[in-house]
Amino acid sequence: MDAMRVRPLVVGGGAGFLWPDIQRSLGDKVNGLFSIGVCNWDVKNIMTDPQRKSVVERYKKRFGCYMQQDALEFYGIVWVIKEAIEKAGSIDPNKIREALLSTEFSGLAGMMQPGKIKFDQTGANMHIRPVMNPMAGWRTPDGLSRRIRY
Protein backbone atom coordinates (compact mmCIF):
# COMPACT_ATOMS: atom_id res chain seq x y z
CA MET A 1 0.00 0.00 0.00
CA ASP A 2 2.86 2.34 0.74
CA ALA A 3 4.29 1.86 -2.76
CA MET A 4 0.89 2.79 -4.19
CA ARG A 5 0.72 5.84 -1.89
CA VAL A 6 -2.42 4.48 -0.25
CA ARG A 7 -2.50 5.50 3.41
CA PRO A 8 -5.73 4.31 4.98
CA LEU A 9 -6.63 4.92 8.57
CA VAL A 10 -6.19 1.53 10.27
CA VAL A 11 -7.80 0.84 13.63
CA GLY A 12 -6.85 -2.30 15.51
CA GLY A 13 -7.81 -3.51 18.91
CA GLY A 14 -5.44 -4.96 21.46
CA ALA A 15 -2.94 -7.69 20.65
CA GLY A 16 0.17 -6.48 18.80
CA PHE A 17 -1.28 -3.08 18.03
CA LEU A 18 -0.58 -1.98 21.60
CA TRP A 19 3.00 -3.24 21.98
CA PRO A 20 6.08 -1.04 21.51
CA ASP A 21 7.53 -3.58 19.05
CA ILE A 22 5.05 -2.59 16.35
CA GLN A 23 6.57 0.89 16.28
CA ARG A 24 10.09 -0.54 16.15
CA SER A 25 9.10 -2.95 13.36
CA LEU A 26 7.18 -0.52 11.16
CA GLY A 27 9.08 2.70 11.82
CA ASP A 28 7.34 5.69 10.20
CA LYS A 29 4.87 3.36 8.49
CA VAL A 30 3.13 3.05 11.84
CA ASN A 31 1.75 6.58 11.38
CA GLY A 32 -1.99 6.38 10.75
CA LEU A 33 -2.36 3.21 12.80
CA PHE A 34 -4.65 3.49 15.81
CA SER A 35 -5.61 1.01 18.49
CA ILE A 36 -8.49 0.98 20.93
CA GLY A 37 -7.65 0.10 24.52
CA VAL A 38 -8.68 0.64 28.12
CA CYS A 39 -5.72 2.80 29.05
CA ASN A 40 -2.52 4.37 27.83
CA TRP A 41 0.58 5.66 29.58
CA ASP A 42 0.12 9.32 28.65
CA VAL A 43 -3.58 9.96 29.30
CA LYS A 44 -4.79 12.67 31.67
CA ASN A 45 -5.62 10.38 34.63
CA ILE A 46 -1.99 9.20 34.68
CA MET A 47 -0.13 12.37 33.73
CA THR A 48 -1.97 14.51 36.31
CA ASP A 49 -1.47 12.07 39.21
CA PRO A 50 2.09 12.13 40.62
CA GLN A 51 1.97 8.52 41.84
CA ARG A 52 0.69 7.11 38.56
CA LYS A 53 3.04 9.27 36.53
CA SER A 54 5.96 8.00 38.62
CA VAL A 55 4.99 4.40 37.82
CA VAL A 56 5.09 4.93 34.04
CA GLU A 57 8.33 6.92 34.25
CA ARG A 58 10.06 4.20 36.30
CA TYR A 59 8.78 1.56 33.87
CA LYS A 60 10.21 3.42 30.88
CA LYS A 61 13.54 3.89 32.64
CA ARG A 62 13.76 0.20 33.58
CA PHE A 63 12.50 -1.38 30.34
CA GLY A 64 13.38 1.27 27.75
CA CYS A 65 9.86 1.60 26.32
CA TYR A 66 6.51 3.03 27.30
CA MET A 67 4.27 1.10 29.67
CA GLN A 68 1.76 -0.58 27.37
CA GLN A 69 -1.86 -1.38 28.13
CA ASP A 70 -1.42 -4.86 29.63
CA ALA A 71 1.24 -3.70 32.08
CA LEU A 72 -0.87 -0.69 33.11
CA GLU A 73 -3.99 -2.79 33.52
CA PHE A 74 -2.30 -5.57 35.51
CA TYR A 75 -0.47 -3.08 37.71
CA GLY A 76 -3.77 -1.42 38.61
CA ILE A 77 -5.55 -4.74 39.18
CA VAL A 78 -2.91 -5.86 41.68
CA TRP A 79 -3.68 -2.69 43.66
CA VAL A 80 -7.42 -3.38 43.42
CA ILE A 81 -6.93 -6.89 44.82
CA LYS A 82 -4.62 -5.62 47.58
CA GLU A 83 -7.08 -2.94 48.65
CA ALA A 84 -10.04 -5.34 48.52
CA ILE A 85 -8.25 -7.89 50.71
CA GLU A 86 -7.32 -5.15 53.19
CA LYS A 87 -10.90 -3.86 53.28
CA ALA A 88 -12.29 -7.39 53.66
CA GLY A 89 -9.83 -8.09 56.47
CA SER A 90 -9.75 -11.63 55.18
CA ILE A 91 -8.79 -13.84 52.26
CA ASP A 92 -12.27 -15.36 52.23
CA PRO A 93 -13.48 -15.09 48.60
CA ASN A 94 -17.00 -13.99 49.60
CA LYS A 95 -15.68 -11.17 51.78
CA ILE A 96 -13.27 -10.07 49.06
CA ARG A 97 -16.11 -10.09 46.51
CA GLU A 98 -18.20 -7.91 48.82
CA ALA A 99 -15.28 -5.53 49.26
CA LEU A 100 -14.81 -5.38 45.47
CA LEU A 101 -18.49 -4.56 44.94
CA SER A 102 -18.73 -1.97 47.70
CA THR A 103 -15.57 0.03 47.01
CA GLU A 104 -14.66 2.69 44.47
CA PHE A 105 -10.95 2.30 43.78
CA SER A 106 -8.62 5.08 42.68
CA GLY A 107 -5.02 5.98 43.46
CA LEU A 108 -2.61 3.43 42.00
CA ALA A 109 -5.55 1.12 41.33
CA GLY A 110 -6.88 3.71 38.87
CA MET A 111 -4.47 3.16 35.98
CA MET A 112 -7.34 2.64 33.52
CA GLN A 113 -9.54 5.43 32.19
CA PRO A 114 -10.86 7.55 33.86
CA GLY A 115 -8.74 6.83 36.94
CA LYS A 116 -11.28 5.06 39.11
CA ILE A 117 -12.85 1.63 39.28
CA LYS A 118 -16.26 0.66 40.64
CA PHE A 119 -17.64 -2.79 39.92
CA ASP A 120 -21.33 -3.44 39.33
CA GLN A 121 -23.10 -6.68 40.34
CA THR A 122 -21.91 -8.40 37.14
CA GLY A 123 -18.27 -7.54 37.85
CA ALA A 124 -17.97 -4.91 35.11
CA ASN A 125 -16.16 -1.65 35.84
CA MET A 126 -18.87 1.01 35.63
CA HIS A 127 -16.35 3.81 34.94
CA ILE A 128 -14.21 2.27 32.17
CA ARG A 129 -13.81 4.37 29.03
CA PRO A 130 -12.03 3.29 25.85
CA VAL A 131 -8.96 5.16 24.66
CA MET A 132 -8.00 5.59 21.01
CA ASN A 133 -4.21 5.32 20.82
CA PRO A 134 -2.28 6.64 17.82
CA MET A 135 0.87 4.58 17.46
CA ALA A 136 4.07 6.67 17.46
CA GLY A 137 2.75 10.04 16.41
CA TRP A 138 0.06 10.38 13.83
CA ARG A 139 1.25 12.58 10.97
CA THR A 140 -1.21 15.04 9.54
CA PRO A 141 -1.09 16.09 5.87
CA ASP A 142 0.92 19.16 6.89
CA GLY A 143 3.57 16.86 8.42
CA LEU A 144 2.84 17.79 12.03
CA SER A 145 2.83 15.08 14.65
CA ARG A 146 -0.27 14.90 16.83
CA ARG A 147 -0.99 13.00 20.02
CA ILE A 148 -4.70 12.26 20.16
CA ARG A 149 -6.65 10.71 23.02
CA TYR A 150 -10.37 9.98 22.97
| The 3-state secondary structure of 21-84, one letter per residue | HHHHHHHHHHCCEEEEECCCCCCHHHHCCHHHHHHHHHHHHHHCCCCCHHHHHHHHHHHHHHHH
Domain range summary for the chain, segments of one domain joined by +: 1-38+130-150, 41-128
Q: What is the mean pLDDT of residues 14-39?
A: 71
The pLDDT of residue 146 is 42
CATH number of 41-128: 3.40.50.2300
Query: By mean pLDDT, which of 31-40, 99-108, 135-144 is the weakest?
Result: 135-144
The pLDDT of residue 7 is 66
Contact (CB, 8 A) for 128 and 112: yes
CA–CA dist 40, 72 (Å, integer): 8
pTM: 0.73
Contact (CB, 8 A) for 35 and 14: yes
Q: Using one digit for the tens of pLDDT, what is the confidence trace for 75-116?
A: 999 999 999 999 999 999 999 999 999 999 999 999 988 999
CA–CA dist 46, 138 (Å, integer): 21
Q: Using one digit for the tens of pLDDT, what is the confidence trace for 62-79?
A: 988 888 888 999 999 999
pLDDT at residue 6 above 90? no
CA–CA dist 147, 129 (Å, integer): 18
149 HSE (CA, 13 A, CB side): 13
Q: What is the mean pLDDT of residues 2-20?
A: 67
More confident position, 137 or 62: 62
The pLDDT of residue 107 is 93
CA–CA dist 7, 23 (Å, integer): 16
Q: What is the mean pLDDT of residues 134-149?
A: 47
Q: Using one digit for the tens of pLDDT, what is the confidence trace for 36-60?
A: 777 888 888 899 999 999 999 999 9
CA–CA dist 119, 102 (Å, integer): 8
One-letter amino acid of 60: K
| Contacts for 95-102: CB closer than 8 Å, 24+ residues apart | none
pLDDT at residue 149 above 80? no
